[in-house]
Amino acid sequence: MGGYKKPKRQLHRDFLYLDDSAVVNALSAMEAGKVDEIIEQSKVVKEAGLDASLGYGPAKLAAKKGKTADVTANLVRTRTAFSAFDAWYQYLRAEDGLGELTAWDEETRNELEVGDTLEVKARVEFAPVHKVFAIFFAYVDNANKPDSFVTVQTSQLAGIKKVASQARGMVKGADGATSNLVYIYPLAVRSPLLVGALSDNHFVGDKANMDGEYKVVLQVIALLDRGESLAAIRALSDAPRTDAEMAKITEALDGLATASEGMGVTISDADKSFTYPTVMVRPVAIYR
């Protein structure tokens, strides 16, 4: 017998990601009074000389007392978001509205329904498509800077930056922020694959070294049927795209994939387009 006394419950949460907009909206539909009680905390923001609101997306701030007021507003908004999450999470637990996985395979996958909310222990990783775009954007952003090893002919740089600008538009979500494609492996099982998109607006921790083991609260948004496919770019952005746009995007992605092979990132056809039994999800919270 070892010398470790394991805690009965893991109460501390170290958040990487929290979609507070989804939480507040969902909690409003369940217990509007609870939301009012939580958001009442934000009155301290006005006492700091600010006008702040919490709702769809980040708080809108009109600073009157400089950096100190900004810090106060951000602290209050963060505390309010965490309080809303805890109230929402506890409500789901109390009402038996939060599913759990004790195993993960195709049979279990087929028991899920669109709209189900569940908490899973999972490995979360950036998808290869995300890594390719991230490498490309870093390459362009650092090109020809004095402290960078990236050198591009001046005559070509303008064209490359134009392509990068178009590519950034491809990876923006409905909220206008960069959307980060991730793979989620429940119980560290690689298949069936869960695929989600994380908005830059809702990262709480540093996303740079995100890959790892977490608890993930998520909602099922689509269960791909046999014969159905979903392009990775469509999973990144809610904006509808024409066949012509998709053809251009696919061509650009193929080019980026080829260039990234030398940097250790490989994209397979399965990474470019998702098929059965892939499950599309909306991550609400990712934490340890």
**Beta bridge partners of residue 118, listed in sequence order:** 99, 218
pLDDT tens track for 34-71: 656 666 655 444 444 444 333 333 444 444 445 445 54
Q: Give the whole-angstrom CA distance, residue 174 versus residue 244.
A: 21
Confidence (pLDDT) at 107: 97
Q: How far is CA 253 from the centre of its chain?
A: 21
Confidence (pLDDT) at 191: 95
Residues 6 or more apart in contact with residue 287 via CB below 8 angstroms: 13, 14, 15, 16, 17, 18, 214, 215
Task: Report DSSP letters for 44-84, one per residue.
Answer: HHHHTT-----BSBSPP---SSHHHHHHHHHHHHHHHHHHH
What sign for the dihedral angle of Cα 45, 46, 50, 55? positive
Confidence (pLDDT) at 185: 98
Confidence (pLDDT) at 10: 75
Nearest residue to 101 via CA among 18, 15, 189: 189
Phi, psi of 98 (to 5 degrees): -120, 115
CB count within 10 Å of CB 23 equals: 24
Residues 6 or more apart in contact with residue 92 via CB below 8 angstroms: 98, 117
Confidence (pLDDT) at 108: 97
Q: Give the whole-angstrom CA distance, residue 65 versus residue 48.
A: 7
Q: Give the whole-angstrom CA distance, residue 279 versus residue 184.
A: 10
286 touches 182 (CB < 8 A):
no
What percentage of the chain exceeds 70 in pLDDT?
72
CB count within 10 Å of CB 113 equals: 9
Nearest residue to 30 via CA among 92, 86, 85: 92
pLDDT along the chain (288 residues), means of 10: 79 89 83 62 45 39 47 55 88 93 97 97 94 80 67 71 75 85 97 96 89 97 94 74 68 71 80 94 96
Confidence (pLDDT) at 169: 76
Nearest residue to 219 via CA among 92, 33, 29: 92
